[in-house]
Amino acid sequence: MASDTHPPHPSIRQYWRIAALLAVLTAIEVALFYIDNALELGAVNVALLLILAVLKFVIVVGWYMHLRFERPLLNRFFAAGLIMALGLYGVVLAAMGILAIRGN
Amino acid sequence: MAEAVHPESHGHAEHESTGVDSRKLGMWLFLSSEFLFFGALITNYLLYSNRTGFNIYPREVYDIPFTSVSSFVLLMSSLTMVLAHNAVSRDDQPQARTWLFATAALGSVFLAGQVFEFTEFIVHYDMKLTTNPVASAFYVLTGFHGLHVAIGVFMLLSLWGISRFKGRLSEEKGMNVEMVGLYWHFVDIIWIVIFTVVYLIDAARV
């Protein structure tokens, strides 16, 4: 069993650096909200906010939940739930979104 | 039967054919299923927030600066949680207790913020659970997330209590810290999604 080949978890210093990065990303998100209020970025704002959220999500899951240091099996389980949810509700939103517009 | 010891498994062997502790495997499966639970609630909110004709929408009453601070607090609680886990793996019991308590405290601050937010919405804007479907969707989504945070705070304080009054967090309890940590970080990533999709993006439409 090749279980001892996993890289070591981050050091305490690295955990603090990751926290600082997460704080900066959150600050950018909030700043974007105000920039959008002034400049009305519209779809660009939504895209940027989603990218920042995905970045934060990946950082927390990968480094704080240590998923990038775990066995592939756990990665697959986690990804399966995430992909199923995104797929299922993506379809629901697409379908119901159209219905909602027609209903109005 | 395969028997492997992962560097972060706190020394106890993993008597599983997968090489993964069954508790850890179960926790990841549970968290994976939670995506479907919160996905349904977020989808429900998005569907109703896109409908017109309601007398009030949550996006009209959001206090983004306040929620941003709450989000920051919850994000930083993930740092204290991972520091607690790190301290347990180094068998540094006092540090582990400190970080566990700090995580519970930050979680409690987040919950207090949510109670304040709900109170503001109900008292000042008359937006109650039964006011309209979009308000219901908002309260159910954020309320269930708050419930998850409350359960996490309870588990953290239980671990802290075990460590404080029943001696050190043993190797076995070390795994418990890891389990609670996974749960806590998951609550955080769900909030990352809620804060962006339900608050920031929705509020930008006002």
Same domain? A6 vs A36: yes
pTM, to two decimals: 0.87
Report whether B152 contacts B183 (CB < 8 A): yes
Say which residue, A29 or A104, is predicted with more confidence: A29
B110-115: average pLDDT: 97
Same domain? A52 vs A79: no
B150 interfaces chain A, CB cutoff of 8 Å: no
Same domain? A47 vs A32: yes
- Percentage of chain B exceeding pLDDT 70: 89
3-state secondary structure of A64: helix
Percent of chain A as helix, strand, coil, to the nearest 5? 85, 0, 15
Same domain? A20 vs A53: yes
Same domain? A63 vs A102: no
The per-residue pLDDT for range B150-159, each reduced to its tens digit, is: 999 999 999 9
- Tokens representing A78 are 């986690």
Same domain? A65 vs A81: no
Same domain? A33 vs A14: yes
Q: Which residues of A touch B189 (CB under 8 A)?
A: 56-57, 60-61
Half-sphere exposure of A15 (CA within 13 A, CB side): 21
Distance from CA of A28 to the nearest CA of B (A): 11
Q: Which residues of B touch A16 (CB under 8 A)?
A: 79
Report whether B83 contacts A15 (CB < 8 A): yes
**B4 phi and psi, to 5 degrees?**
-135, 150
In angstroms, how far is CA A12 from the centroid of its own chain? Answer: 23
Number of domains comprising chain A: 2
pLDDT over 70 at A103, yes or no: no
Same domain? A55 vs A85: no
pLDDT over 90 at B162, yes or no: no
In angstroms, the CA B49 to CA B42 distance is 10
Same domain? A57 vs A12: yes
Same domain? A17 vs A51: yes
Q: Which residues of A touch B81 (CB under 8 A)?
A: 64
The per-residue pLDDT for range A29-74, each reduced to its tens digit, is: 999 988 987 887 778 888 999 999 999 999 999 999 988 888 888 8
Same domain? A29 vs A50: yes
**Runs of H (alpha helix) within chain B:** 22-49, 58-61, 64-89, 93-125, 133-165, 171-194, 202-203
Say which residue, B80 or B8, is predicted with more confidence: B80
3-state secondary structure of B157: helix
Nearest by CB to B50, from A9, A16, A97: name it. Answer: A97
Same domain? A60 vs A80: no
Task: Residue A31: give the domain boundaries.
Answer: 1-70
At the top level of CATH, the class of B35-203 is: mainly alpha
